[in-house]
């Protein structure tokens, strides 16, 4: 390989890698179980295990979302295995009334939004599930 060819190959490599890891949606009914991994059951009835970072797994295990019409953005790592994008990419959605809504959590007392369930970082009270239009800013749910 010539220097020019090597330079061209190393220049294009990051773009090829980005194209290969482009996010795709996986939609279906959110599956939760004590003895199974969280997953999504597609409209075709196929059960796909979903993995992700700790914050993403927190959302996937949130009982308030059990059996929800759910969508995760990410990529397949195997025929029945899907890895959701990291939580900071805001890649988890629930569908309600024909609308795609971003999964967020809101503390009504402190006006703090989070992307994974748990207690408010300020008052330590449980945060409320707040499905939001992705076009809205990270503001009060009344907006």
Maximum pairwise Cα distance, the chain: 64
Does residue 9 lie within any of the structural domains?
A: no
Does residue 142 lie within any of the structural domains?
A: no
- Note down pLDDT in tens along the chain; length 143 residues: 555 444 445 544 444 444 456 999 999 999 997 777 899 999 999 999 999 999 999 999 999 999 999 999 999 999 999 999 999 999 999 999 999 999 999 999 999 999 999 999 999 999 999 999 998 865 555 55
Query: What is the domain range of residue 77?
Result: 23-132
Does residue 140 lie within any of the structural domains?
A: no
pLDDT at 71: 98
Count of domains in the chain? Answer: 1
pLDDT at 69: 98
The pTM for the full model equals 0.80
Does residue 37 lie within any of the structural domains?
A: yes
Does residue 97 lie within any of the structural domains?
A: yes
């Amino acid at each position: 390989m010539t220097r020019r060819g090597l330079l061209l190959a190393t220049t294009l490599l990051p773009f090829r890698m980005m194209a290969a890891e482009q996010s795709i949606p996986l939609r279906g009914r959110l599956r939760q179980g004590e003895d199974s991994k969280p997953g999504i059951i597609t409209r075709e009835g196929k059960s796909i295990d979903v993995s992700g970072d700790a914050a993403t797994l927190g959302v996937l295990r949130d009982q308030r979302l059990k059996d929800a019409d759910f969508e995760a953005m990410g990529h397949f790592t195997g025929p029945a295995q899907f890895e959701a994008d990291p939580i900071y990419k805001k890649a988890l959605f629930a569908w309600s009334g024909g609308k795609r809504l971003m999964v967020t959590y809101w503390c009504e007392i402190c006006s703090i939004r989070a992307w994974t369930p748990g207690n408010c970082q300020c008052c330590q009270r449980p945060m409320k599930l707040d499905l939001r239009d992705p076009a809205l800013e990270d503001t009060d749910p009344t907006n």
